[in-house]
Amino acid sequence: MKKLVVCLLAVLLMANAALAMADGLTFSWWGGDARHEATQAAVDAFKAATGTEVTCTYSAWSGWEDKMSQYFASDSAFDVNQVNWNWLFSFTNADGSSKFYDINEVADVIDLSQFNEKALAQCTVDGKLLAVPVSMTGRIFYWNKTTFEKAGLETPKTLADLMAAGPIFAEKLGDECYPLALGSYDKMILMVHYLECKYGKDWVVDGQLNYSLEEVEEGLAFIQSLEDAHVIPSAQTLTGDGADSLDKNPKWMEGKYAGIWEWDSSASKFEAALNEGQEFIVGDYFTDIGEYQGGFTKVSMALCIANTAADKKLAASLIEFLLNSEEGARLMNSQRGIPLSAKANALCQAEGLLNARVAEANAKVMAWCQNALDPQFEAAALKNSDGVYADAMEGLSYGDYSIEEAAEVLVEGITEVLEAA
């Protein structure tokens, strides 16, 4: 019965894709309302300029990756797809065959000279450019300045400031108030940042974890110290809040959670979620963790052409319009982060179209982060809500694991994924 359901699903997906292709191009992406509106406006402009029909499919992130996996697995993906960087590796086989078309084959349509080599290299697998990078991103602190002021504090400039703020928040604002809130994946990225600041080495090198069990234990002890000092709420507290994501959490909206550790490209939705009268600011990296500038940057998202696209040059023309044309850049502005396209970036800066908060954060991220990101860091078996990171971080927070046990879960789980890649 399960096999029958899978087969029927594949047939339906392929039928839907075929019907959409009969009308022109198909295009899929995920995001929030602001991104949806901007992208749809840019697609409409492309349709008006070229006479090409474009059928758009989009949604919020929740459940999107699983849905797209089904499309790619059944060879019924949309012609043009917004993709996460790690998907380029997840959907490419050991023999080099991929679900994505080599963009180098349509370089006469897409002006690749507008994108820096480092970003293009991140989207290249086995010599094939599998997607066009839209923007680069990294993690940085954001603070609710208003809440810190209520506690009689400035926003943290050092790790020592942050650690000291925890007890003060509890005393002056109440036990429900915390200087920072972190989900399991946030904790993982912050832990790696902490270790890279201390030791200066990449998390993974040549497909192998580059940190010892003892060093991972040190990183987890740091995460646990944040909870012990009332800097972050426990996993149980966050679960009890009943929100799917932090930007939808009433405690964030009300300012009871006064800080986040987030992608610079995600700032807008967190700021927009705050209740009126609260000041949201970009933080700084802490220089008192270690002597290195730890942390990584990555292609935040990219646009690819599916290998199954009927007209790959037409699909390429849509990407060129969205990312490199004046009209596309003007309409898309910074809804997918600060544009990597030199043309688009220059136009958006000249016309004041960039989100000032995102631009400030992105500049700090790009100037600070020095470490490389391994493609498997975001593998579903590690990153998903039922993955290794959540198992270790939630197990530690709930008290199901000691620091030593949580470290073993992380090291063994990560090693297994790396060896299987």
Tell me how far CA of residue 85 lies from CA of 88, 188, 273, 336, 373, in angstroms. 6, 18, 27, 13, 11
Give pLDDT, residue 267: 81
Per-residue pLDDT tens digits for 44-54: 999 999 999 99
Q: Is pLDDT at 129 greater than 70 in this prediction?
A: yes
Q: Is pLDDT at 23 greater than 80 in this prediction?
A: no
Q: Is pLDDT at 168 greater than 50 in this prediction?
A: yes
What number is the average pLDDT over the span 289-307? 96
Q: Is pLDDT at 133 greater than 80 in this prediction?
A: yes
Give pLDDT, residue 161: 98
Q: Is pLDDT at 27 greater than 90 in this prediction?
A: yes
- DSSP annotation of 107 reads T
The per-residue b/e assignment along 321-335, b for 16 or more CB within 10 angstroms, e otherwise, is bbbbbebbbbbbbbb
> What gap in Å lies between CA 283 and CA 361, rounded to an integer?
8
Predicted confidence band of residue 147 (pLDDT cuts 50, 70, 90): very high
Give pLDDT, residue 244: 87
Amino acid at 280: F
> What gap in Å lies between CA 297 and CA 133, rounded to an integer?
13
Could you give the dihedral angle defined by the CA atoms of residues 191, 197, 199 and 202, in that order, rounded to the nearest 10 degrees? 70
Q: Is pLDDT at 15 greater than 80 in this prediction?
A: no
CB 137 within 8 A of CB 337: yes
The residues with which 306 forms a beta bridge, in sequence order, are 100
HSE of 242 in the Cβ direction (CA atoms, 13 Å)?
1
Q: pLDDT averaged over the chain?
A: 93
Predicted confidence band of residue 11 (pLDDT cuts 50, 70, 90): very low
Long-range contacts (CB closer than 8 Å, 24 or more residues apart) made by 83-87: 83/131, 83/301, 83/302, 83/303, 83/304, 84/301, 84/378, 85/122, 85/123, 85/298, 85/299, 85/300, 85/301, 85/302, 85/375, 85/378, 86/375, 86/376, 86/377, 86/378, 86/379
Tokens coding 300 = 């935040």
Q: What whole-number percentage of the chain has pLDDT above 90?
A: 84
Q: Is pLDDT at 6 greater than 50 in this prediction?
A: no
Q: Is pLDDT at 221 greater than 80 in this prediction?
A: yes
Q: Is pLDDT at 3 greater than 60 in this prediction?
A: no
Predicted confidence band of residue 361 (pLDDT cuts 50, 70, 90): very high
Burial class (CB in 10 A: 0-12, 13-18, 19+), 210: middle
pTM score, two decimals?
0.84
Q: Is pLDDT at 96 greater than 70 in this prediction?
A: yes
Of 268 and 336, the structure prediction assigns the larger pLDDT to 336
Per-residue pLDDT tens digits for 54-83: 999 999 888 898 899 999 999 999 999 999
Predicted confidence band of residue 18 (pLDDT cuts 50, 70, 90): very low
Give pLDDT, residue 1: 47
Give pLDDT, residue 169: 98
Give pLDDT, residue 305: 98
Tokens coding 8 = 């029927």
Give pLDDT, residue 61: 85
Q: Is pLDDT at 284 greater than 80 in this prediction?
A: yes
Give pLDDT, residue 227: 98
Query: Scanning the structure block, which residue is given the tokens 């007209």?
Result: 311
The residues, any chain, with a CB within 8 Å of residue 54's CB and separated by 6 or more, are: 24, 25, 26, 27, 43, 46, 47, 318
- Could you give the angle at the alpha carbon of 191 between the alpha carbons of 243 and 230, nearest 5°? 60
